Chains A and B, each alone.
Chain A
Amino acid sequence: MGKVDEQLRQSLTTDADGEMQQAAPHYAPHDLAKEDPEQLKHYYYMMLLMRRFEERTGEMYTKAKIGGYCHLNLGEEATVMGLMAAMQPEDYIYTNYREHGYMLARGADPGAVMAELFGKETGVSRGRGGSMHLFDRKSNFMGGYAIVGGQIPLALGAAFALKYKGEPGVAFCQMGDGTTNIGAWHESLNMAKLYAVPLVAFIVNNGYGMGTTVEKGSAEPDLYKKGCAFRMFGERVNGKDVLAVRDAVRRHREMALNGEPTILECVSYRLRGHSVVDPARYRSEEEVRAGRSEDPVQMFAKDLLDAQLVADAWLKETADRVEDEVQKAIDFAEQSPDPDIKELFTYMYATPVANTPGAEEALAAAREAGGEH
C-alpha cells in the first residue's frame, strides 16, 4: 500500500497548493515503438467500428427502426477503447445509458447490440431493455442504467462482492460528468473507501450533462478532485487519447486491487447532442468546431500513419471491413424476430411463486394480437 499512499499524498498536496491543471493534458504523441502493433491496430479498428456503428444507429433511429431514447458515443471512442483495453476478463462493468460502444469494445457481437436497439428477441437483453439497458452476463457487462447515478451503488455492490468472495477483479463504474452531483455518488464513494473495495469510478467528462455545463452543475468542476471528501485518489486524463486512458486505467486498476478505490476522469467531447434528437443549440459553433478538430479516431489514425505502423491502404481496408460489419449487424437486427407476446411475463421473477399475475394475461394478449406470433 506504500505506493498508493504516496500517490494519495501527492494528490492531496497538489490540491492544497492549488497547482492542479484545470484543463486535461494535451494530446501528446506516444512512443508507439514500445507498443504491440497488432494491438494498436485493433484499437483503431474498434474505435472506427464504434464510430460507424453509432453513425448508422443515428440513421436507423431517424428511420424509426429504433425507438425510445438513444444516446451515442460519438467522439468518446478513445475513452471507451482505452478503458476496455485495460479491463481484464475477471473485471465487471456498470455503465450509464450511453453505452453501445462499451459493449462493442467489451467484445459483444455488433449484431446482437443492434438487435437490442431494434427491440428484437436476439438482442443482448432479448429486446426487453433497449438502447439504454444493454446487458451481457458472459462478459460481466452488468448493465446500462438510465437513472443517472443508479449504477454507482450497484457497482459498489459488485466490488463488495468481489472482496467478500475473495475473487480477483475490479468493478468499473462508468458515468457522465453530471452524475457526480447526485447523492448516490457521494454515498457510494464514501462506502467504497470505508470498505476498501476494488471500485474505479470512471467519469466521462464530455463537458455537458444534457445541456448543463460541468461548471454550472458542479461547484467543483475539477471532477477528479471530488473524492477528496473520502480521501480518494483522483486523476484526470485526456479522453481523446486512447493510450493515455488505457495506461491510466491500468494504474487505477492496480490501486483498486490493492483496496484503494479511485476516480478517473476522462475529458472527452460529444460530437453530437445529448441524444439523437438533440440539436445541441446550447453549444457555440466555435466550440463545436474546436471539439471536432480533435477527433479521436482521426488523431489516432494519424499517429499510426506517422509511426508507419499502417499505410493508407490498411485504413481503407479497415474502413471497408467496418462498413461491412455494421451493415451485417443492421441486416441481422432487421431480420431477427420480435419477442413473442406469449413471453411477456417470462422474465418477471427468477423464482416463480404461487399467485403471480401474468401468465394467463400474456396468453390472452397473444391470442388477441392474432394467435401464434
Chain B
Amino acid sequence: MAVITYRQAVHDTLREELRRDENVFLLGEEIGVFEGSYKVTAGLLQEFGPRRVVDTPIAEEGFVGLAAGAAMLGLRPVVEIMTINFILVAIDQIVNHAAKIHYMFGGQCAVPMVIRTPGGGGQQLAATHSQNFEAWFAFVPGLKVVCPSTPYDVKGLLRSSIRDNDPVIFLENLALYNTKGEVPDDAGDYTIPIGVAEVKKEGSDVTIISYSRMTVLALDVARRLEQEQGISCEVVDLRSLRPLDKPTIINSVKKTGRAVIIEEDWRSYGVGAEVAATIQEDAFDYLDAPVRRVAGVEVPLPYSKVLERAALPSAQNLIAAINQTLEGVRT
C-alpha cells in the first residue's frame, strides 16, 4: 500500500481515466494553465493537451450545460466547479436538464457526466465560500451524489462515477485535500459501487453516521471514546447520499440501538434529517434512545475564526451528543 493525499487520489484517478478512455475530458475554470484553484489538475494540460483539459470562462451554467450536451452525444465530461458555492448559478442545468433528460425522454438518451466540486467550511472563507449544498442535490431524483472521506474511497468512487452513465455529483471537501490514506500500490483498478455505505469502524454501543470530512472527525472521536471511556462506537460512512444505503444504516442501528448523525451542512432539512427519518421508519423498535443530530449552526458562516469554529460541528459536539444518547446506560 502507498500513502497519498486525498488531492493526489483525485488527480491520479482523473489521469488514469483520461488515459483509459478517449471520451473522458475535463472542463472547468482555471483547471488547465493555472493547474486548478486547488491544484487537483496540476500537470494534466501538459500531458493531455487543450482538447482533453478545457479551460472555461467564468460561466458555470454555460459549461455545465455544455458538459451535459456533450454527454448526450456520448462523451464523458468531468466538470470541476471551483468550489460548491459557485454551483448555484448552474443549478438549472443540473436539476432541470442533466437530471431529467434520461427519464423525461423515455430512456432514449443517457447523460454520463461527473461534476466534482469541493465544499466545506473551516478555512475562514466566510459566508459565501464555506457552504455544503449536498442536500440540495441529494434531493433530486435523476442525480447520483457521492461524498468520499478517504483517498481510497476517492479512487474507487471517482472511477465508478466517471464510468457511470448518469450525472454524478462528486463532492470533495477543502479540508480533506491534504489528509492522507492508504491506496493499493499497483495501479489496481478497483471500484467502489455508488449507493453503498461502509462500516468504517465496528462497535456495539452507538452508531455514528457521517460522510465526507465528518467521517474523519467521527473516526477520531470513536477511537478516543473507546480508549478513554470504553465506549464502543460503530462508524457508518455513507459515501453516497443518493442513493442512500438504508440497509447498512438500519443494520447498524439494529445492532447498537443508538444513533448519532454528524453532518457539516445545516441542521434543518439536512442529510441528518433524512437519515433520522429513515431510522425511525425502519428501526424504531430497536432504538433505546432518541436519534441525535450534530450539524452546522444555522447561520451564514462568519469570517471570525472564533465565530467560525463555534458554528461548525466539532468533536466536542459529537462527544456531547453521544453521551446524551448513552445517558442512563452508564450511570
Contacts and interface: CB of A to CB of B under 8 A. Distances in A.
Contacts of A356: 195, 243
- For the complex of A and B, the 10 pairs showing the least CB-CB separation, nearest first, are A157-B69, A153-B65, A187-B62, A126-B106, A135-B105, A347-B107, A350-B110, A350-B165, A154-B69, A161-B73
Chain A interface extent, by class: 35 or more
A347 B105 CA distance: 9
Interface stretch (A30-38, A139-147, A218-226): A139-147
A353 interface: yes
A150 interface: yes
Nearest to B101: A143
A133 B105 contact: yes
Given A145-B97, A188-B65, A355-B243, 16 more contacts: A125-B105, A128-B103, A128-B106, A137-B109, A143-B105, A150-B92, A157-B69, A160-B69, A195-B54, A346-B107, A350-B107, A350-B110, A353-B164, A353-B193, A355-B195, A356-B243
A157 B61 CA distance: 12
A349 B59 contact: no
Interface of B: 25, 51, 54, 56-57, 59, 61-75, 89, 92-93, 96-97, 101-112, 141-142, 144, 164-166, 193-196, 240, 243-247
Contacts of B75: 161, 164-165
A67 B94 CA distance: 26
A161 B70 contact: yes
A68 to B, nearest CB: 13
Given A125-B104, A190-B59, A147 B243 contact: no
A74 interface: no
Given A348-B141, A354-B196, A157 B109 contact: no
A128 B67 contact: no
Contacts of B245: 354-355
A135 B243 contact: no
Interface of A: 92, 94, 123-129, 133, 135-137, 142-143, 145, 147, 150, 152-162, 164-165, 171, 183-184, 187-188, 190-191, 194-195, 346-351, 353-357
A337 B307 CA distance: 61
Given A126-B106, A351-B166, A356-B195, A184 B62 contact: yes
Contacts of B66: 153-154, 156-157, 160, 188, 191
Contact of A191 (B25, B63, B244): B63
A152 B68 CA distance: 11
A143 B73 CA distance: 13
Nearest to A157: B69
A164 B59 contact: no
A355 B244 contact: yes
A147 B101 CA distance: 13
Nearest to B245: A355
Contact of A354 (B54, B65, B195): B195
A153 B106 contact: no
B281 to A, nearest CB: 13
A348 B103 contact: yes
Give the one of A133, A153, A194 with max B CB within 10 A: A153
9 contacts: A126-B106, A154-B68, A154-B69, A156-B69, A161-B69, A161-B75, A190-B57, A191-B56, A191-B59
Contacts of B92: 147, 150, 184
A106 to B, nearest CB: 14
A153 B247 contact: no
Contacts of A353: 144, 164, 193-195, 243
A355 B25 contact: no
A27 B121 CA distance: 62
Given A348-B141, A354-B245, A190 B62 contact: yes
A350 B112 contact: yes
A355 B165 contact: no
